[in-house]
Homo-oligomer: A and B are copies of this chain.
Amino acid sequence: MKKIEAIIKPFKLDDVKEALNAMGIKGMTLSEVKGYGRQKGHKEIYRGAEYVVDFIPKVKLELIVEAEQVEAVVECIRQAALTGKIGDGKIFVLPVEDVIRVRTGEKGKDAI
């Protein structure tokens, strides 16, 4: 099993969620994060002075999937999250050693 972490633009969340559902991915966890990278931050004005806020709101998706699904899921997220503009985000793939479902105690694949 692998853990996929995807950092995407917030307004793309619904599309990504739908795309994942379409391919049968029914579980994920997400959190609001701030991103820093190539994408330039936005200007803010405060009483006639200008400031640049360079941490940009992003959404982080975390999903555990079976090894063989990784390719497909990554591509699915990429397609759905794509705008082609700087700041579209990144997808990371990490190894997972075990997964346990709290409710049943099931482990591994069955727990996903």
Contacts and interface: CB of A to CB of B under 8 A. Distances in A.
Number of copies of this protein chain within its complex: 3
Interface string A66-82: 00000000100110011
Contacts of A55: 30
Contacts of A58: 29
A94 B33 contact: no
A52 interface: no
Contact of A100 (B30, B74, B83, B86): B74
B97 A78 contact: no
A36 B85 CA distance: 28
Contacts of A85: 103
A35 B30 CA distance: 6
A94 B91 contact: no
Nearest to A64: B92
B29 A35 contact: yes
A3 B103 CA distance: 21
